[in-house]
Amino acid sequence: MKSTTIKVLIGFLIGAVSVGGFAVANTPSVPVVKACMDNKSKALFVSSNGSCAKGRTAIDIGATGANVKSIAQLVSPSVVSLEVKSLAGGGTGSGSIIRTTSSISYIVTNNHVIDDAATGGTIDVELNNGDVLVGTIVGRDPEYDLAVVSVKKGNLPVIAQGDSSAVAVGDAVVAFGSPLGLSGTVTSGIVSALNRPVTTGSVSITSYIDAIQTDAAINPGNSGGPLVDSQGRIVGVNSAIASLGTGSAVANTGLGFAIPFNQAKRIINEIIETGKSTKPIFGVSFDSTFTGTGAKIGALTPGKGAEKAGIPVNSIIKSIDGYKINDAVSAIVRIRSKVPGDKVTVVVELVGGTLKTFIVTLDSAPSL
């Protein structure tokens, strides 16, 4: 999601307005239908008068669900643009001010935004007011594609923190960032899907993301910026897009992915407190030659959770905590979404074809 600096000529569309330094596109009005959503089944029922029975929540179908202009004014002061320069390369990205003291402020972004500066280089952090500060890497976690950068300026506006576990498909969301180097850009959309297994990163280091999918326009340079809910609270860290193009042809297709904030928050706090982070360990190696449905266990790590639970080699993981496992990637993503010490319920297919359930306690290990 990094992008090299490019020059672009923009034709501003009719209806574009500037709010708090951020470009926001007006959307046409749409009819609003009053409805009720069952709190358990999530089924929708039309409401003639806007009121709902007990156990159902009133919602508006057709409304944007978010006042984008107000959100832009609220959130934009806590969003920064990042420019990395190094002999290894460079690029632009985005970040959110996540914590501040009287003398220092901490910014969360993607690891792939700043990794070129990890072995020598500079990070310029541009605040919403135009000030440019020197950024320093506090710590990074390539396996979660997260990093924390600090600047020596305190009492900066901090982004409000939301609960990504409360996000539902169809919820309105707003993405902030610097797509294609254009700092101060806001796009809006909805949550298109949850728990998407997504991999990013390089050949040597792969990041596994239990992603929030959104149709809010995300482009190269949006990486590391916040995905916020209808109240302006961060619920995700923009990280990747699905695109039919490659290189400079990569662009938004309505398939953007963000790291759930509840997952990112643990990593961020560990990095700020210790400079490092941890990951949960299941204790297996998967058979990369397996082409069936599920994740086939090729080997067990001695003394770790899977072996302790009694899961045999060559068994095939079919589900973890009720989530269907289609392949090794989805198994890794499901484990990485947990916390060291968590207990997970794993259903495996034994060599003879019998299904068996195991309870596995996840171990802890340092992230790369």
Q: What is the mean pLDDT of residues 251-258?
A: 75
Residue 220's pLDDT band, with cuts at 50, 70 and 90, is confident
Closest by CA to 225, choosing from 107, 126, 96, 99, is: 96
* pLDDT value of position 65: 53
For 132-145, the pLDDT digits (tens) are 999 999 999 999 99
Residue 208's pLDDT band, with cuts at 50, 70 and 90, is confident
* pLDDT value of position 15: 28
Q: Select, from the ranges 71-80, 197-206, 247-256, the one with the highest average predicted confidence (pLDDT).
A: 71-80
* pLDDT value of position 69: 82
Residue 185's pLDDT band, with cuts at 50, 70 and 90, is confident
For residue 181, pLDDT beyond 60: yes
Q: What is the mean pLDDT of residues 7-33?
A: 34
* pLDDT value of position 28: 37
* pLDDT value of position 250: 53
Whether 223 is a known active-site residue: answer yes
Residue 74's pLDDT band, with cuts at 50, 70 and 90, is confident
Q: Mind listing the domains of the chain with CATH numbers?
A: 1-27+66-276 (2.40.10.120), 30-63 (no CATH), 279-366 (2.30.42.10)
Within 10 Å of residue 239's Cβ, how many Cβ atoms?
31
Which one from 223, 277, 315, 337 is the annotated catalytic residue? 223
Residue 326's pLDDT band, with cuts at 50, 70 and 90, is very high
For residue 60, pLDDT beyond 70: no
- For residues 128 and 77, the answer to whether their CB atoms sit within 8 Å is yes
For 284-301, the pLDDT digits (tens) are 999 999 999 999 999 999
* pLDDT value of position 200: 74
Rounded Cα gap, residues 86 and 90, in angstroms: 6
* pLDDT value of position 245: 52
Q: Report which DSSP code applies to 161.
A: B
Which one from 115, 141, 145, 363 is the annotated catalytic residue? 145
Q: Select, from the ranges 39-53, 109-123, 207-221, the one with the highest average predicted confidence (pLDDT).
A: 109-123
More confident residue, 174 or 87: 174
Label residue 239 left, alpha or beta by phi (over 0 means left) and psi (-120 to 50 means alpha).
alpha
For residue 20, pLDDT beyond 70: no
* pLDDT value of position 4: 35
Whether 112 is a known active-site residue: answer yes
For residue 150, pLDDT beyond 60: yes
Of 164-168, 209-213, 253-257, the range with the lowest mean pLDDT is 253-257
Give 2's contacts (C-beta < 8 A, 6+ positions apart): 84, 89, 91, 92, 93, 112, 113, 116, 220, 221, 223
Q: Per DSSP, what are the bridge partners of residue 149?
A: 107, 137
Which one from 96, 112, 210, 367 is the annotated catalytic residue? 112
Whether 150 is a known active-site residue: answer no
Q: What is the mean pLDDT of residues 137-166?
A: 95
* pLDDT value of position 177: 83
Rounded Cα gap, residues 58 and 44, in angstroms: 10
**Residue 365, exposed/middle/buried by CB under 10 A (0-12, 13-18, 19+)?**
middle
